């Protein structure tokens, strides 16, 4: 499925995809947000460098905010990069992995969108 390239081997890509699947299907738990997944997101998926993995996690996943909606949209919705708003972030290095990640997230996108909408309604009603 994956090819070796300068920045990642096919084996490393498969590990990251496995981490990704576990992370998105497990409800974005911090325990599933691995260092390898964090590195791939910041090095290859148009996320601006954050202080560290924990800081990145705090920004996107500690609170269900617009940042989480933007993250989910990048992989399962419009595919526009959450931070840079680029649409061509899926090309170039590791494009095979990026496209596989989008396929996984796209399948779950309707569920993610529904959960975020319900959460926003609950917060509004409070």
What pLDDT is recorded for position 114? 86
Q: Are 13 and 44 in contact (CB under 8 A)?
A: no
Please check the confidence at residue 126 and state whether its pLDDT lies above 70: no
Burial per residue of 103-115, b for 16 or more beta-carbon CB atoms within 10 angstroms, e otherwise: ebbeebbeebeee
In-domain check, residue 45: yes
The answer to whether the beta carbons of residues 99 and 107 sit under 8 Å apart is no
The number of distinct structural domains making up the chain is 1
**pLDDT tens by residue, 52-105:** 999 999 999 987 678 889 999 999 999 999 999 999 999 999 999 999 999 999
Q: Is residue 66 part of a domain?
A: yes
Q: How far apart are CA 33 and CA 62, in angstroms?
A: 12
Read off the pLDDT of residues 15-41 as tens digits, 9 standing for 90 and up: 999 999 999 999 899 999 999 999 999
42 found inside a domain: yes
Q: Domain containing 90: what range? A: 10-125
Residue 26's Cβ-side half-sphere holds a number of Cα atoms within 13 Å equal to: 13
pLDDT of 123? 66
């Amino acid at each position: 499925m994956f090819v070796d390239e300068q920045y990642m081997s096919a084996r490393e890509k498969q590990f990251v995809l496995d981490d990704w699947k576990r992370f998105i299907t497990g409800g974005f738990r911090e325990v599933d947000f691995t260092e390898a997944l964090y590195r791939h997101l910041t090095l290859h998926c148009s996320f601006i460098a954050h202080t560290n993995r924990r800081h990145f996690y705090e920004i996107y996943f500690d609170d269900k905010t617009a940042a989480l909606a933007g993250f989910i949209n990048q992989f399962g919705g419009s595919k526009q990069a959450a931070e840079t708003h680029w649409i061509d972030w899926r090309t170039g290095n590791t494009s095979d992995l990026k496209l596989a990640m989008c396929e996984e997230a796209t399948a779950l996108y309707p569920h993610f969108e529904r959960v975020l909408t319900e959460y926003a309604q609950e917060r509004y009603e409070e």
